[in-house]
Amino acid sequence: MTSSPLLQLDAISQRYARHSVVEQLSLSLQRGEIGCLLGSSGCGKTTVLRCIAGFEPLSGGRILIDGQLLADARLHTPAHKRQIGMVFQDYGLFPHLTVAGNVGFGLDALARDARAAQVARMLALVGLDGLAQRYPHELSGGQQQRVALARALAPQPRLLLLDEPFSNLDVSLRERLGQEVRDILKAAQATAILVTHDQHEAFAMADKVGVMEQGRIMQWDSPYNLYHQPANRMVADFIGQGVLLPGEVCADACIRIELGEACSLRPHGFAAGSRVEVLLRPDDVAHDDASPLRARVAARAFRGAEFLYTLALPSGQTVLSLAPSHHDHAIGEEIGVRLDAEHLVAFAI
């Protein structure tokens, strides 16, 4: 797809006094895509969202939607003229209005009948029909979340922003609702940006994820690529688990590591003979009793369907390995391991 992006952030910066919150951040999102800004608290991800929504002015850079300039260092289109919906971390439901009143809030331009029909359609979309006359405080957290989503989607915004949408819900509800919200957004053909510190949430919901650190995006990519082809050590470290194993580049561009020759590598461009580090995810190291390479079980964590083993290689270097849960080995036991990886990624030391 080569169509122009719906949302484009062009090197945006945001500073309070001397303190820089967002620094030269760029990203673009296609129509219908769900993007996610992932980072620990204080990395500036919520500020980015507030800049897009129009609650914060930009110090530099440009925000474009549909090719139209929304904001730069001098221009600041007020929030109510942006047609950008938002779901707040605390939902921000109007306590004095019913569910129907909340969902219909942004539909004042419509005639009464059209408005009622749209409210009904939105409530059906989020599975809350029948609760239209309730007040927000009479609903559970998950229901309030859905009302907030329906309210934001009702005026058919050009873009939807979700600020830590699940952080106030308990974990079991979070996963289920995450999938549900993704389905709802896809059904509504909405373009959305989500902000979270939870990578499982990010992976479950988003098509594109940006890992943020100190106001910058380290990598803006699909969840698969973030996990298997992190752009740098920081992303590798932040996303998922794994270890960096030292190795040496051979003449044929393979890399020799303690687990053997790794040839299924991403193009790396390192010269033969250079010392590098290879990122090994737990699923890159397989348990195979036929393998001549032995490793000692140093620690293990039972996860139900699988074991996460920490294995000590003969050199003392440890790697992580995922094994089906019936491969039950005690700590101290020697087991056979083998490299079972596609597209490994290497970093310079």
Q: Which of residues 226-255 bind other proteins (CB under 8 A)?
A: none
292 lines the binding site for other proteins (CB under 8 A)? no
Residue with tokens 């393998």: 291
Answer for which of 105, 253, 317, 338 binds other proteins (CB under 8 A) is 105
Q: Which of residues 193-232 bind other proteins (CB under 8 A)?
A: none
Answer for which of 80, 171, 189, 252 binds other proteins (CB under 8 A) is 80
Binding mask 85-104 for other proteins (x = CB under 8 A): xx-x-xxxxxxx--------
Q: Which is nearer to other proteins, 83 or 317 (CB)?
A: 83
Cβ-proximal residues to 271 (8 Å cutoff; 6+ apart), any chain: 249
Binding mask 137-156 for other proteins (x = CB under 8 A): x-x----x------xx--x-
The number of beta carbons lying within 10 Å of the beta carbon of residue 127 is: 13
Q: Which is nearer to other proteins, 47 or 310 (CB)?
A: 47
Q: Which of residues 157-186 bind other proteins (CB under 8 A)?
A: 157, 161
How near is the Cβ of 47 to other proteins at its closest, in Å?
14
Q: Under rule CB under 8 A, how many of the chain's residues touch other proteins?
A: 33
Cα(276)–Cα(348) distance, rounded to whole angstroms?
5
Cβ-proximal residues to 116 (8 Å cutoff; 6+ apart), any chain: 100, 104
Question: Residue 291: CA atoms inside 13 Å, Cβ hemisphere, count?
Answer: 16
Give the DSSP letter of residue 197. S
Q: In the chain, what is the greatest distance between 2 CA atoms, to the nearest angstrom? A: 75
Q: Which is nearer to other proteins, 53 or 279 (CB)?
A: 53
Question: Burial, 341: exposed, middle or buried (Cβ in 10 Å; 0-12, 13-18, 19+)?
Answer: buried
54 lines the binding site for other proteins (CB under 8 A)? yes
30 lines the binding site for other proteins (CB under 8 A)? no
Answer for which of 5, 35, 39, 136 binds other proteins (CB under 8 A) is 136
The set of long-range contacts for 76-81, using a CB threshold of 8 Å and a minimum separation of 24, is: 78/54, 79/53, 79/54, 79/55, 80/54, 81/54
Q: Which is nearer to other proteins, 106 or 223 (CB)?
A: 106
- Under 8 Å between Cβ of 261 and 298: no
How near is the Cβ of 37 to other proteins at its closest, in Å?
18
Q: Which is nearer to other proteins, 161 or 341 (CB)?
A: 161
Cα(243)–Cα(110) distance, rounded to whole angstroms?
57
**Which residues bind to other proteins, rule: CB under 8 A?**
53-55, 78-86, 88, 90-96, 105-106, 108, 135-137, 139, 144, 151-152, 155, 157, 161
